[in-house]
Amino acid sequence: MMSEKIKLLRERSGWTQAELARRLVTTRSSVNAWESGISIPSTQYIVELSRIFGVSTDYLFGLKQNQSLDISGLPPEQVATLVQLVEFLRRS
């Protein structure tokens, strides 16, 4: 569910509901309602949430289960290191 994904992404970022609300220029009660499943964010906020957290809107909607990571601008050596880390974590 979108509510669980928003909460998970917010907590992974180490933000409170108030901090996320400030970044989105909305209220903490709106963020709380989204995370509680009482309401869903408007299209504007869904797009902004995907931008802030670096995930696709498909991920937020539950249409795609995997997350993506923007590695543009990283040198090839660092990309290779990230690939090795992901492979290691998958095996663990």
Q: Which domain holds residue 16?
A: 2-61
- From residue 31, alpha-carbon distances to 13, 23, 54, 70 in Å are 15, 11, 18, 25
Domain membership flag for residue 68:
no
Q: What is the pLDDT along the chain (92 residues), one digit of tens a residue?
A: 899 999 999 999 999 999 999 999 999 999 999 999 999 999 999 999 999 998 889 989 988 666 667 788 989 999 999 989 988 998 98
- The confidence score (pLDDT) of residue 71 equals 84
Domain membership flag for residue 74:
no
- The confidence score (pLDDT) of residue 62 equals 87
Number of domains in the chain: 1
Domain membership flag for residue 82:
no
CB 24 within 8 A of CB 49: yes
Q: Which residues contact residue 58 at a Cβ distance below 8 angstroms, ignoring those fewer than 6 apart?
A: 64
Prediction pTM value: 0.71
Domain CATH for 52: 1.10.260.40
